A and B are shown apart, each in its own frame.
Chain A
Amino acid sequence: MKTLNFKIIAIAFIGASSLFVSCDNTDSTSESNTDQAARKGKKFSGTFVQQDQMARPAINTVFIGSGAPKDAFNASIPSEMGASYQGIFQSRLLALNSGYTTNALGQTAAQLTGLLSTDVLNVSKVAPTTFFDGTNVLTGRNAADDVIDVELLLIFGGPTGASNPGLTSDHVNSNDKSFTASFPYLASAW
């Protein structure tokens, strides 16, 4: 609840700053084209330093310890993640499921965490895109994909997917609004 209040305050603050920006833009209608071009150039100038990084769902949140390590993971780049994080991920996996042997994909703890610790989303340009649809594995991520059940199954389900049946699905199987068949695909805001 406290967090929620904080969020509202933060959002209100961001909203307030954007009002000032909007005022600037109204002022700029009298600018010459040259001035406007210069202002635009400045808008897109500067160096942007990585703050958050994400590909597969919930990787940082599940496998990285709270506090500073989470920020450090967000500031790291995929080509260097495997070397830095595979061992950490494996310890986390075995803490979550001390009975882990292999999963439904036949992966050992080292293999699963080796895959997940390099946080990129593998996307096929030639096959159906899905996180997992029973046939295709990690060929993308659709909005409707039940990615949490896939991850729970791989972490808790054991070699046949039948282990720990109370933990391999959260029984929330779809979104609370339908997606659209055409762009922009996501549903309107509540």
Chain B
Amino acid sequence: MKKTRMVLGLSLVAISGLIFMAADHADAPAVTGNANDITDVYAFQGQDTNNMVFVVNTQGLLTPGATALATFNENVLQEINIDTDGDNVEDLVIQAIRDGKEMHFFGPYAPNSTGVNSTINSKEESGKVKITPYGSAPIIESEHGMKFFAGPRDDPFFFDLGQFKHILAGEATSFNNPGTDTFARTNVLSTIIELPKSMLGNSSTINIWAVTGKRQ
């Protein structure tokens, strides 16, 4: 009985048009299929535990054949927002934007303003790295104690999205064991930054989120 109710609930959701495109791959109409689409965000302690690593992945579900043609857009700013005092408003930003064959990085620095509009203070440039071409060994630059990478990587996300869609559609009542990774053999464009935790304020915890912004 309980299961029936739940499946009914799932079906209603499916009917109401919910499409689960995990993690956030092609999550909304305006970003689907373009450089603005963030697929996943990661934040973890580095190999050197004094460091923090931020990963922003964009343009998901790239087949191997499509990956060589996928590029970062020079009019799309990637920004990691960092709240150091728990009010969910950014106190620091790290920004990345492509110029030609390079990705340029700014910050972390306190932005002039918060909210949906961002500008770059070019005086805050902290480093740059040549964008790694598809099929090449990763190109890494180190500056100011920070490390930078930009280029195609295997999509680290894994999920049996196909079966979940069947469940939502009422065509199945459970996952398979083993499941099938919908994101196997697909790539993303990754922007990866490692930096000393000491550059992220004095608090013991931070709140972070990534945004993409389009130049007006």
Q: With a CB–CB cut-off of 8 A, which chain B residues contact A128? A: 45
Let me know if A167 and B208 touch, CB within 8 A.
no
Let me know if A60 and B192 touch, CB within 8 A.
no
Let me know if A123 and B52 touch, CB within 8 A.
yes
Other-chain contact of B205, A10, A73, A122 (Cβ < 8 Å): A122
Q: With a CB–CB cut-off of 8 A, which chain B residues contact A185? A: 53, 55, 192
A57 to B14, CA, bound (A): 20
A91 to B150, CA, bound (A): 39
What is the chain B residue whose CB lies nearest that of A148? B159
A87 to B23, CA, bound (A): 22
- Chain B positions 95-123 with a Cβ under 8 Å from a chain A Cβ: 97, 99-101, 104, 106, 114-120, 122
Nearest chain A CB to B20's CB is how many angstroms away?
A: 5
A134 at the B interface (CB under 8 A): no
A18 to B68, CA, bound (A): 12
Residues of A within 8 A of B (CB): 3-4, 6-8, 10-12, 14-15, 18, 21-22, 24-25, 40-41, 43-55, 57-62, 64-68, 70-71, 73-75, 77-79, 81, 92, 94-99, 118-126, 128-130, 139-144, 146-148, 156, 164-167, 169-177, 179, 181-190
Interface size class of B (residues with CB under 8 A): 35 or more
What is the chain A residue whose CB lies nearest that of B118? A48
Let me know if B9 and A143 touch, CB within 8 A.
no
Other-chain contact of A58, B23, B47, B101 (Cβ < 8 Å): B23
Let me know if B177 and A171 touch, CB within 8 A.
yes
CB<8 Å pairs between A and B, sample of 28: A44-B120, A47-B117, A47-B118, A50-B116, A51-B31, A51-B212, A52-B36, A52-B212, A58-B20, A61-B21, A62-B18, A62-B20, A77-B89, A78-B209, A95-B13, A96-B10, A98-B9, A126-B205, A129-B43, A148-B158, A169-B177, A170-B159, A176-B158, A176-B185, A182-B47, A189-B135, A189-B152, A190-B67
Other-chain contact of A7, B66, B76, B156 (Cβ < 8 Å): B66
Nearest chain B CB to A75's CB is how many angstroms away?
A: 6
Q: A7-B61, A176-B184 are in contact. Are A125 and B154 (CB under 8 A)?
A: no
